[in-house]
Structures are given as C-alpha cells and as structure tokens.
Amino acid sequence: KAGVTQTPRYLIKTRGQQVTLSCSPISGHRSVSWYQQTPGQGLQFLFEYFSETQRNKGNFPGRFSGRQFSNSRSEMNVSTLELGDSALYLCASSLEDREDPRFFGPGTRLTVL
C-alpha cells in the first residue's frame, strides 16, 4: 500500500500571501489530521477530518482552514501568511477509531519570508 503523500514538499511564500497544502491518505483511510511542527512549539494539532466533515479542531486562528474530499484527500489552507507560520506541516491518516494509529506523511516545509 502506498503511504501518505503530501504535496508540495517545500514551499516559500511571502507575508500576506495564502497557501494550500495537499494530503493524500493511505487507501481505505477515512480520517485525515493535520499538525504544525515548529522548534518552539513542537507538534500541535490543527484539525481532523473524517468523511468530509471536520471532527476536531485545535487552537489555531481562523486563517487556518481545511477540507476533505469524497476520496478522503484533504487540503489545508492558510490565508494572510505570517512569519510565524513557517513550519513543517504534517498530515496523518488513520482508519476511523481512537485506537487506530496515525500514519504520517513526510510533511510540507513552509517558509514565509
């Protein structure tokens, strides 16, 4: 089975721009969650989508949004980029339930200049 794929792998943007990141989960997985990883804050949960519905949301401003499509692929959008948004954005997919492990993609490295 193919793993979780994320595109693009690297991205450079300037302040004020917006960005869309994409995540394709493992085939058969219906849950996709997103995380932001920075040296200062560590791994922080952004949101989780299950069957096209947002099931959970972390403590991030409304500039961070996401969606999930009927094929379980997910996108994350960040509008009005700030310097502090520079981070590694990780996507994880899982089957459905709490005990199901999350399988992570390689991440998208976003740099905001």
Partner 1 sequence: AQSVTQPDIHITVSEGASLELRCNYSYGATPYLFWYVQSPGQGLQLLLKYFSGDTLVQGIKGFEAEFKRSQSSFNLRKPSVHWSDAAEYFCAVVNTGNQFYFGTGTSLTVIP
Q: Site residues (CB under 8 A) for partner 1?
A: 4, 31, 33, 35, 42-43, 45, 48, 55-56, 58, 90, 92, 97-99, 101-107
Closest CA to 76 of 36, 30, 17: 36
Measured CA to CA in angstroms, residue 83 lies from 16, 57, 70, 78, 94 at distances of: 9, 22, 33, 12, 31
**SS3 state at 23:** strand
Q: How far is CA 26 from the centre of its chain?
A: 14
Q: Which is nearer to partner 1, 14 or 56 (CB)?
A: 56
